[in-house]
Chain A
């Protein structure tokens, strides 16, 4: 029933709706409600009251103007109770018809969400991202029904003071310590406060730590004079008290772990003056503390703020990992010293027993001093053979134990801008979660799905807070201006929300094939590595049977886009694929890793252990040497556009296999030469040359062997279409010599002799490949931005001019039509 056309043959619009300040990308009509929604370039979405569309009433009201996206809004859907919009900011927002945001689903990486589908009955939204991931989300109609913030109005009972420390025993029981030395509990179900204990000597300074042991809840408190009390909440009468330290108790930590001999014992660690840590073992049977034993004493390395902040057992190795206030990780032996056993008939009441004053403290067996910076370590955990630590430096680290030493594998960050990490912990299903404060919110971050599982706007870093999750219920509680606030919510996790892993948030820059591994169930996994402008590198396993690509690990150490990857020393032994990976990109940053890939569990997905070996940043390098050699500060905005490793070690050279030489193509017009040493975990800039004077786009290396002689050659290509061929044999042997002599800090060498330059293209060379041909010559193929491919043959003769490197022939086949991005020189055959 279309309208008749006018004289020009066009159908006149019946109504025009205007209001947006930019292009409209999509509209959605909800017939039953008579409303229309539009999504626009102006970053808003609008809802219009269009009524019955067959009506000719020109009056269209704008019902809602919704600003909440941080970039263009691509699409909008209307449901009976909610409005859903997706945008270039990678957010999927669920709005109420009152214009409030109910959910802001974030999780897609990079450049936006492109597609959306909704299932109203089940309350599901599926989104497709520009990152090629697909996610499924659950809509809850109103935010308030499943989460709330309670003010417990603590100060109403003035006699017991102001809360100083709080901790959740479980999701229904909060334990509070006040500045008047009271310990009380609050039950969220009965909504009752109960005073459990009071002790004047815990006034103004007191520590409180709570743990669950079987059915009992154990509390430990410590004070300024070195006294400690341990009691169970159910029978605080039978509290055990000791004078444990010569002065202030600085920290208290409960550790329940499989290290304990029986299920009714757990450990309490306390730090006193002078770095002394006392390890007590506490047994508790049906709410009664039956025994407290001093297991051992340790002494932390010297520092101003010398106390522990966190403890984890490594039972398999008989070790204890301790994080301290100085930011160090310290390793102690888990000495089962009978001599330390204390009197079992501890006084149950009245007198404070002082500890054995001449108990010998054990010294650390290994220290990573100041690993997490001056502000301290915040947590340590041990999980499946690895140690994880977090700190006030905004990082968490993965470490392993090797020969009773801690070896750092990786340094990691959680979501962008989350600088205040309070702790890391594992969920029962093995997801590593990072808890901390992100600007003014408390956040639980999942490293598995890369999303905030919980975010509570609490105002930011609190001295005393506690978080517990049991089933779907999660509780976060904190002290703010003398009051206790509690946020309780129900997280619904019935659906797996990542349906398809994302590849990368922005353009891919490089792909490398590492190798193939077989697992016990005869499945073949191809291992690939990708790098991207989104600043990350991903390691993938492609299962040939299931045809599924699975992300084994993500590297996010780069500050800027990762432009290039190189592999060296790849080998596969006992079905463990091992390779050295070099990543490089913007901000003149280059990183080296050892990767160990295997499918231990045979589940067809595999695992990848990433060990960070070393990194190099040009700006740091110049800062370091600037004082020594007065020179112009060099611009750190240099990008590395390509790296190539000298993988083949010529038989005549002295290079050990743990040492890899690397060439980098740099945007500041230079070719730089580095050495990566796996044994000393160092990356050093050895040489550079500004021969090209233009942005260098590509580098390649090859080794030419004739008889007993080997020559290491380097090809580099720049934006002016020229290819330079270098002989870097001398540079490498000089470097090998100085490295053997242990001189790491020597002036830069020159990169050496340019043997040949080839004018291959009119402008930039986007790809470069070198292959040896049957007759011992080399074929150099390049693809240019001028739409052409150039193929040259060169020979390497020992005695000819220019180091004997000669151009034999060069051809450019008829141009293809579009700009060339990649060419590869294929092996002959």
Chain B
């Protein structure tokens, strides 16, 4: 079982490996695009928090297939190192820093971007309030950097955790975009609080000057936006995207089932696909299941050395006490007639401390 169990539990994980995506998140962007045609007319795109790079892969494939050639430019940013991808310019940097914004602009030779996407997520601590807060801060950082690089009318897509303060974020996004919706791709698990904000029609407030430590974004958390009534109340529509015949990310599919390649199922085979009951289409029992290893293992993760030490049994351990020898036994039996019967061999009386 072992390594195949994730394949059973998560069809998108398996699909991603079989189709050569570096992460299953690729399908989220594909499904968002299906709903919003995100890539139409896009030449310059920024992928914030891009590692290991599956969104960059999607951007690269989608933008290059719709645009003739040359003018496409994709810049990917992440704190972590990322394996090179042809046609994608990489910046290893922090999206909360102004220098990163400058670097992006430099790559676009002063031209603004048409699309900024951000799939950023902090390392989860498991404390939900803190995770939601950090995620919100990361989204604000992404929005801030976006105000530096996005053209008017451009699109911004970012991951959001739908926690209890989500309305505050919506209200902040509404200041900068004509249309804000909350979308959940079918490949994003039902069991996760993750969703995506799709912000279209960038139009910053008049006279707004981008600034990396912008107080405009630093709304105070005291105002309870959830409680606002009437016209002040911010309502962001919700949309589940990816059509119903798409794979269900929460469903467990048998391994003997051979998934259809997603790219083809999205375009050419779409109509046939919809007419068939999902299960019969997927059952291809003639095909043996083959385990496919992940495409992109993490590059130099922080735990690398610790894992190396563990593997070689070099982690510090509670030290077992080392044996101390007692002096050789001294007063054992001196009797030589080992053949004597039982009653005669009770040699010494012994008082045992009790």
Task: Report which A residues bind B (CB closer than 8 A).
Answer: 21-23, 40-44, 66-70, 95, 99-104, 111-112, 130, 143-144, 147-154, 156-157, 159-160, 169-170, 172-173, 180, 182, 184-185, 187, 189, 191-200, 215, 217, 229, 231, 233-237, 239, 241, 349-350, 456-457, 485, 487, 632-635, 637-639, 667-669, 690, 693-695, 697, 719-721, 762-764, 766, 785-788, 814-815, 817-819
> What separation, in Å, do the CA atoms of A261 and B9 have in the docked complex?
62
Nearest B residue to A761, CB-CB: B240
Q: Could you say which of A160, A187, A764 contacts B352, with CB atoms under 8 Å apart?
A: A187
9 A/B residue pairs, CB under 8 Å, sorted by A: A21-B300, A22-B302, A42-B305, A43-B306, A44-B305, A192-B330, A349-B343, A668-B253, A763-B184
> What separation, in Å, do the CA atoms of A41 and B35 have in the docked complex?
39
B317–A762 CB distance below 8 A: no
B314–A67 CB distance below 8 A: yes
Q: Kindly provide the distance from the CB of A287 to the nearest chain B CB, expressed in whole angstroms.
A: 10
Q: Kindly provide the distance from the CB of A650 to the nearest chain B CB, expressed in whole angstroms.
A: 33
Most buried by B among A40, A180, A233, A695: A695
- Fill in one digit per residue for B1-32: 1 if any A CB lies within 8 Å of its CB, else 0: 00001001100000000000000000000000
Task: Confirm or deny: B327 has a beta carbon within 8 angstroms of a beta carbon on chain A.
Answer: yes
8 A Cβ contacts from B130-182 to A: 162-164, 166-167, 182
Chain A residues positioned under 8 Å from B300 (CB to CB): 21
> What separation, in Å, do the CA atoms of A669 and B250 have in the docked complex?
9
8 A Cβ contacts from B297-318 to A: 300, 302-306, 309-310, 314-318
- Fill in one digit per residue for B224-263: 1 if any A CB lies within 8 Å of its CB, else 0: 0010000000010011100010001011111110000000
Q: Could you say which of A41, A111, A153 contacts B328, with CB atoms under 8 Å apart?
A: A153
Chain A residues positioned under 8 Å from B304 (CB to CB): 21
Most buried by B among A191, A637, A762: A637
B248–A148 CB distance below 8 A: no
Q: Kindly provide the distance from the CB of A701 to the nearest chain B CB, expressed in whole angstroms.
A: 22
B240–A237 CB distance below 8 A: no
> What separation, in Å, do the CA atoms of A182 and B318 have in the docked complex?
38
Q: Could you say which of A42, A193, A639, A763 contacts B302, with CB atoms under 8 Å apart?
A: A42
Most buried by B among A99, A695, A763: A763
Task: Confirm or deny: B333 has a beta carbon within 8 angstroms of a beta carbon on chain A.
Answer: yes
A635–B164 CB distance below 8 A: no
Chain B residues positioned under 8 Å from A68 (CB to CB): 315-317
Q: Could you say which of B254, B279, B319, B323 contacts A100, with CB atoms under 8 Å apart?
A: B319
Beyond A21-B302, A101-B318, A695-B251, list 20 extra A-B contacts (CB 8 Å). Answer: A21-B304, A23-B123, A43-B303, A67-B316, A100-B319, A104-B318, A153-B326, A195-B332, A198-B345, A217-B352, A231-B346, A239-B346, A457-B320, A632-B256, A635-B252, A635-B255, A786-B184, A817-B164, A817-B167, A818-B162
Q: Kindly provide the distance from the CB of A694 to the nearest chain B CB, expressed in whole angstroms.
A: 5
A149–B324 CB distance below 8 A: yes
A67–B345 CB distance below 8 A: no
Give me the 8 closest cross-chain CB pairs, A-B, nearest first.
A22-B302, A764-B190, A156-B328, A43-B306, A236-B346, A198-B345, A637-B8, A457-B320
Most buried by A among B239, B330, B340, B352: B352
Q: Kindly provide the distance from the CB of B266 to the nearest chain A CB, expressed in whole angstroms.
A: 19
Chain B residues positioned under 8 Å from A67 (CB to CB): 305-306, 309, 314-316
> What separation, in Å, do the CA atoms of A236 and B347 have in the docked complex?
9
Q: Kindly provide the distance from the CB of A334 to the nearest chain B CB, expressed in whole angstroms.
A: 30
A635–B250 CB distance below 8 A: no
In the complex where A130-B126, A233-B350 touch, is A693 in contact with B277 (Cβ < 8 A)?
A: yes
Main secondary structure of the interface of B (DSSP, over half): loop
In the complex where A234-B351, A667-B250 touch, is A786 in contact with B240 (Cβ < 8 A)?
A: yes
Chain A residues positioned under 8 Å from B347 (CB to CB): 194-196
A637–B338 CB distance below 8 A: no
> What separation, in Å, do the CA atoms of A200 and B9 have in the docked complex?
65
> What separation, in Å, do the CA atoms of A818 and B128 have in the docked complex?
13
Nearest A residue to B328, CB-CB: A156
> What separation, in Å, do the CA atoms of A596 and B200 have in the docked complex?
60
Task: Confirm or deny: B214 has a beta carbon within 8 angstroms of a beta carbon on chain A.
Answer: no
Nearest B residue to A66, CB-CB: B316
Chain B residues positioned under 8 Å from A237 (CB to CB): 343, 346
> What separation, in Å, do the CA atoms of A144 and B323 have in the docked complex?
11
Q: Kindly provide the distance from the CB of B314 to the nearest chain A CB, expressed in whole angstroms.
A: 7
B323–A195 CB distance below 8 A: no
B342–A667 CB distance below 8 A: no
A239–B321 CB distance below 8 A: no
Q: Could you say which of B193, B322, B338 contacts A149, with CB atoms under 8 Å apart?
A: B322
Q: Kindly provide the distance from the CB of A172 to the nearest chain B CB, expressed in whole angstroms.
A: 6
Chain A residues positioned under 8 Å from B310 (CB to CB): 70
B322–A199 CB distance below 8 A: no
Q: Could you say which of A95, A635, A785 contacts B254, with CB atoms under 8 Å apart?
A: A635
B252–A762 CB distance below 8 A: no
In the complex where A67-B314, A68-B317 touch, is A187 in contact with B353 (Cβ < 8 A)?
A: yes
Q: Could you say which of A70, A99, A160, A639 contacts B252, with CB atoms under 8 Å apart?
A: A639
Chain B residues positioned under 8 Å from A457 (CB to CB): 320
Task: Confirm or deny: B275 has a beta carbon within 8 angstroms of a beta carbon on chain A.
Answer: no
> What separation, in Å, do the CA atoms of A609 and B311 have in the docked complex?
43
Chain A residues positioned under 8 Å from B331 (CB to CB): 192-194
Q: Could you say which of A191, A349, A785 contacts B326, with CB atoms under 8 Å apart?
A: A191
Task: Confirm or deny: B325 has a beta carbon within 8 angstroms of a beta carbon on chain A.
Answer: yes
Q: Could you say which of B238, B250, B322, B352 contacts A815, with CB atoms under 8 Å apart?
A: B238
Chain A residues positioned under 8 Å from B326 (CB to CB): 150-153, 191
B251–A241 CB distance below 8 A: no
Task: Confirm or deny: B354 has a beta carbon within 8 angstroms of a beta carbon on chain A.
Answer: yes
Most buried by A among B226, B315, B326, B353: B326
In the complex where A100-B316, A234-B351 touch, is A191 in contact with B338 (Cβ < 8 A)?
A: no
Chain B residues positioned under 8 Å from A239 (CB to CB): 342-343, 346
In the complex where A199-B345, A787-B162 touch, is A159 in contact with B333 (Cβ < 8 A)?
A: yes
> What separation, in Å, do the CA atoms of A70 and B309 have in the docked complex?
10
Q: Kindly provide the distance from the CB of B349 to the nearest chain A CB, expressed in whole angstroms.
A: 7
Chain A residues positioned under 8 Å from B285 (CB to CB): 632
B329–A719 CB distance below 8 A: no
Task: Confirm or deny: B269 has a beta carbon within 8 angstroms of a beta carbon on chain A.
Answer: no
Q: Kindly provide the distance from the CB of B203 to the nearest chain A CB, expressed in whole angstroms.
A: 24
Task: Confirm or deny: B339 has a beta carbon within 8 angstroms of a beta carbon on chain A.
Answer: yes
A235–B349 CB distance below 8 A: yes
A159–B338 CB distance below 8 A: yes
Task: Confirm or deny: B223 has a beta carbon within 8 angstroms of a beta carbon on chain A.
Answer: no
B352–A169 CB distance below 8 A: yes
Task: Confirm or deny: B278 has a beta carbon within 8 angstroms of a beta carbon on chain A.
Answer: yes
> What separation, in Å, do the CA atoms of A639 and B345 have in the docked complex?
68
> What separation, in Å, do the CA atoms of A18 and B304 have in the docked complex?
17
In the complex where A185-B352, A195-B333 touch, is A634 in contact with B254 (Cβ < 8 A)?
A: yes
Task: Confirm or deny: B341 has a beta carbon within 8 angstroms of a beta carbon on chain A.
Answer: yes
Nearest A residue to B190, CB-CB: A764
B309–A720 CB distance below 8 A: no
In the complex where A187-B352, A200-B339, A695-B190 touch, is A148 in contact with B240 (Cβ < 8 A)?
A: no
Chain B residues positioned under 8 Å from A111 (CB to CB): 126
Task: Confirm or deny: B44 has a beta carbon within 8 angstroms of a beta carbon on chain A.
Answer: no
Task: Confirm or deny: B186 has a beta carbon within 8 angstroms of a beta carbon on chain A.
Answer: yes
Task: Confirm or deny: B348 has a beta carbon within 8 angstroms of a beta carbon on chain A.
Answer: yes
> What separation, in Å, do the CA atoms of A785 and B238 have in the docked complex?
10
Q: Kindly provide the distance from the CB of A154 to the nearest chain B CB, expressed in whole angstroms.
A: 7
> What separation, in Å, do the CA atoms of A170 and B350 have in the docked complex?
14
Chain B residues positioned under 8 Å from A635 (CB to CB): 8, 252-255
Chain A residues positioned under 8 Å from B240 (CB to CB): 721, 762-763, 785-786
In the complex where A185-B350, A195-B333, A198-B338 touch, is A719 in contact with B248 (Cβ < 8 A)?
A: yes
In the complex where A42-B302, A160-B332, A817-B167 touch, is A144 in contact with B321 (Cβ < 8 A)?
A: yes
Chain A residues positioned under 8 Å from B182 (CB to CB): 787
Most buried by B among A144, A159, A690, A817: A817
> What separation, in Å, do the CA atoms of A196 and B309 have in the docked complex?
51
Chain A residues positioned under 8 Å from B316 (CB to CB): 66-68, 95, 99-101
Chain A residues positioned under 8 Å from B238 (CB to CB): 762, 786-788, 815
